[in-house]
Amino acid sequence: ATRRMGEAIGVGLAAEGVPYKLFHMATSDRNDVLAEVFKSKAILVGSPTLNQGLLPTLMPVLEDLRGLRFQNKIGAAFGSYGWSGESPRVIEEHLAAAKIPLAAESVKAKWQPRPADLAACETLGRKVAAAVKAG
């Protein structure tokens, strides 16, 4: 579900001419991801809610963001959930701790994203793209 949301966000970014890369943290090297963050203007982080938190594979990168104190970045959060839906809020808290301001309000979808949820994700991508272009 969260991957599908990320792909829809990518559609919005691409529609505005902003290139992007998707990373699945269970299979991506943390250092590769951080190198891309260093080169990027925006970071959009998504996770399903797991035990009222985030996926364990995502946590080290979020801690690195805080510790490395990247500058001149904007961020946004998204996530899927089955019961409680805290993941976007938790991600936003991590971005705030890393001094990465939010470019747009988070998006979350219950279970599998519906067409309206995917449209909201595409809109999120467009909003972040507009903020990247403005900055």
What confidence tens digit (pLDDT) does each residue in 2-27 have?
999 999 999 999 999 999 999 999 99
The average pLDDT across 75-101 equals 96
pTM for the predicted model, two decimal places = 0.94
Is 90 exceeded by the pLDDT of residue 118? yes
Closest C-alpha among 22, 34, 27 to residue 55: 27
The average pLDDT across 38-59 equals 95
Q: Which residues neighbour 75 within 8 Å (Cβ) at sequence distance 6 or greater?
A: 42, 43, 44, 45, 95, 98, 100, 101, 102, 103
CA distance 100 to 70: 8
pLDDT digits (tens, 9 = 90+) for 94-111: 999 999 999 999 999 999
Helices (H) and strands (E) in the chain, counts: 5, 3
| Inter-residue contact 43 to 65 (CB < 8 Å) | yes
